[in-house]
Amino acid sequence: MSDFNTIYDSHLALKDKKISATELCNEYLKVAKENPNNTFITLTEDYALNKAQEIDKSGIKNHLDGIPFSLKDLFITKNIRTTAGSKMLYNYIPPYEGTTSSNLQNAGAVLVGKVGCDEFGMGSSNENTPFGPVNLPLNKDYLPGGSSGASAVSVLEKSSLFSIGTDTGGSVRLPANFCGLFGYKPTYGRVSRYGQIAYASSLDQASPFARTPLDIAIIMDAMTKNDEKDSTQAPIGAMSSTSKILNNKDKSLSLVIGIDRSMIENCREDVRENLNQSIKELEKNGVKFKDITLPHLKYSVAVYYVIATSEASSNLARFDGVHFGFSSTEGHDLENSYALSRSLGFHEEVKRRVLLGTFCLSSGYSDEYYSHACKVRRLIYDDFQKAFNECDYVYSPVCATTSFKKDELMTPLQMYMNDLYTIPVNLAGLPSMALPYGSSSLNSLPTGFQLIGNSFKDEELILDSHKIFEVLK
């Protein structure tokens, strides 16, 4: 087994010919094939080896050349089955290529396979899927969080050097936090959503998992190219955060970080201890913490479940059994065939959210729920803007607890509360880095925090995360 586990170190090893792309690929494929944590839905072994061999022939140029990675199965891959973790798309082979997949593969990365997730990205545990739950490699009784849990696990179990998930309400930052990895949710509109199966269009954003901020930078540089196929992507060109990190000489952390301490007080004791410790250490390294209030954040979960489910009810309408995907042949007329295909094709959580969204948009309720939620969403955004008038970043927990056990019974509402701290970021469209920090005194599982930046301050946030990582590690 190679002794490097970051993209950057692997890149140097590949460049120095300490290892070939094919050898590296085989190492990661071996784990992927064993699939010890039920991470993979579809393995792309031949595809990956072909690509690795090509790269060995053409030589290493880019940071991502020959780097094995996985994609959450919400990302469209041409001619490679894409299931969205759902029975609905169990046999769906896309006829086109998605932007996330093409950007990373064009940059040289080698696709090992498609990994599981909560169906259509709806969930916080990676359990809501007919493909079965995914183990937390650190303790197999526990879950990696969701919905992009399997992506986090693929990095942790070393079947991928990095993985791309989707973050709609925390679906990347939560599993990153539970698995002790970096998870980065870009500013809404920084990356293309073309070829990413939509859950809630105004919140969804493709987001990477990796072991260091530098690795996140390498991935983000490749993912931020302009894509004219997504009108909601800001046409501001690719980031160049890798070179900014590599060329950075200034190690000081002269940052002002806003903090609403009530958030920390609401966390479980073991998490709270570590958060307070991280604050102390950051202060020791020059960071100034400033008390702020974010008064409307308490409405975030309610607002999120109105807006996200409303959009989902519309986005998921195309899965009706007519044009693609699961189709029940039992229907005796059109309406019945729709009802059967959707009742049998979707799992409980998806049905719950589609029904909730359908209700929220119904005439007579739309103004009370959907329109109202949109107004509160704006107030949440304004809260953050006020904070950014006086600070560079906002510090926040990612989750009040560490990972939870597989058999821990939770009501849907309890499950939704796991995303209490991550959801406001999506509602406000802001970038946020989940950073791992310490482990729980209760169960030894990873803990961490997130740093939230202002819109389109992605490069700054990634660079500062790198600096923080350097002093905290």
Partner 1 sequence: MSKYETVIGIEIHAQLNTNTKAWCNCELKINGFENHYVCEVCSAQPGTLPVVNKQAINYALMLGIATDCNINKTSFYDRKNYFYPDLPKGYQITQFHTPICEDGAIELVGESGEKKKIRIERIQLEEDTGKSTHYNDYSLINLNRAGTPLVEIVTKPDFKTAKEVTNFLKKIQSILVYLDVSKGNLQDGNMRCDVNLSLMPKGSDTFGTRTEVKNLNSFRSVERAIEHEKLRQADILDKGEEVLQQTLLFDVDTGATRVLRTKSDADDYRYIPEPDLLAISVSEENIEKLKNELPELPTDKVNRFIKEFKIPKYDAEVICSEKKLAKYFEKACSLHNGNAYKKISNWVMVELLKLVNEAKADVEKIKLTPKHLVELVELIESGKISGKIAKDIFVEVYDTGKLPGEIVKEKGLEQNSDSSEIEEIVKEIIGAHPKEVEELKSGRDRVMGFFVGQVMKKTQGKANPKITSDLVKKLLGL
The verdict on 116 binding partner 1 (CB under 8 A) reads no
Residues 6 or more apart in contact with residue 405 via CB below 8 angstroms: 141, 142, 143
- Relative to beta strand 288-291, strand 256-259 is parallel
Only one of the segments 30-38, 88-96, 108-116, 150-158 lies at the binding site for partner 1 (rule: CB under 8 A); that segment is 88-96
**Which one of residues 37, 102, 313, 401 is an interface residue with partner 1 (CB under 8 A)?**
313
Which range touches partner 1 (CB under 8 A), out of 82-90, 108-116, 207-215, 286-294? 82-90
Does 236 contact partner 1 by CB under 8 A? no
38 Cβ neighbours under 8 A, 6+ residues apart: 116, 131, 132, 133, 134, 135, 150
Q: Which of 65, 157, 260, 311 binds partner 1 (CB under 8 A)?
A: 311
Inter-residue contact 224 to 233 (CB < 8 Å): no
Mention every residue, 6+ apart, whose C-beta is less than 8 A from residue 54. none
The residue range among 41-49, 76-84, 257-265, 292-300 that interacts with partner 1, by the rule CB under 8 A, is: 76-84
Q: Is 194 in the site for partner 1 (CB under 8 A)?
A: yes
- What DSSP character marks residue 371? I
Question: Percentages helix, strand, coil for the chain, rounded to the nearest 5?
Answer: 45, 15, 45
- Measured from the CB atom, is 388 or 456 closer to partner 1? 456
Q: Name the minimum Å distance from CB 326 to partner 1.
A: 12
Cβ proximity to partner 1: between 299 and 324 the closer is 324
* Strands (E) located in 310-385: none
Min dist. Cβ of residue 361 to partner 1 (A) = 4
Query: How near is the Cβ of 370 to partner 1 at its closest, in Å?
Result: 7
Which C-beta is closer to partner 1: that of 332 or that of 473? Answer: 332
Please state the closest distance from residue 312 (CB atom) to partner 1, in A: 11
The DSSP string of 187-206 is: PTTSS--TTB--SSTTT--E
Alpha carbon of 356 to those of 344, 351, 362: distances in Å? 18, 8, 10
**Using rule CB under 8 A, residue 91 touches partner 1:** no
User: Where in the sequence numbering do the catalytic residues fall?
Assistant: 72, 147, 171
198 contributes a contact to partner 1 by CB under 8 A: yes
Could you say which of 323, 332, 375, 473 contacts partner 1 (CB under 8 A)? 323
Burial of 91 (0-12, 13-18, 19+ CB in 10 A): exposed
From candidates 157, 320, 349, 392, binder to partner 1 by CB under 8 A: 320
The verdict on 114 binding partner 1 (CB under 8 A) reads: no
Q: Does 361 contact partner 1 by CB under 8 A?
A: yes
Question: Cα angle at 461 between 457 and 463, to 5 degrees?
Answer: 120
Instruction: Give the number of other Cβ atoms within 10 Å of residue 355's Cβ.
Output: 12
Residue pair 153/135 in contact (Cβ under 8 Å)? The answer is yes
Least distance in angstroms from the C-beta of 31 to partner 1: 28
Q: What is the dihedral of CA 246, 251, 254, 258, to 10 degrees?
A: 60
Q: Applying CB under 8 A, which part among 2-10, 50-58, 94-102, 433-441 lies near partner 1? A: 94-102
Q: Binding to partner 1 by residue 224, rule CB under 8 A?
A: no
* Residues found near partner 1 in the complex (CB under 8 A): 74-76, 82, 84, 89, 92, 94-96, 98, 193-198, 200-202, 228-232, 310-311, 313-314, 316-320, 322-324, 334, 338, 358, 361-363, 366, 370
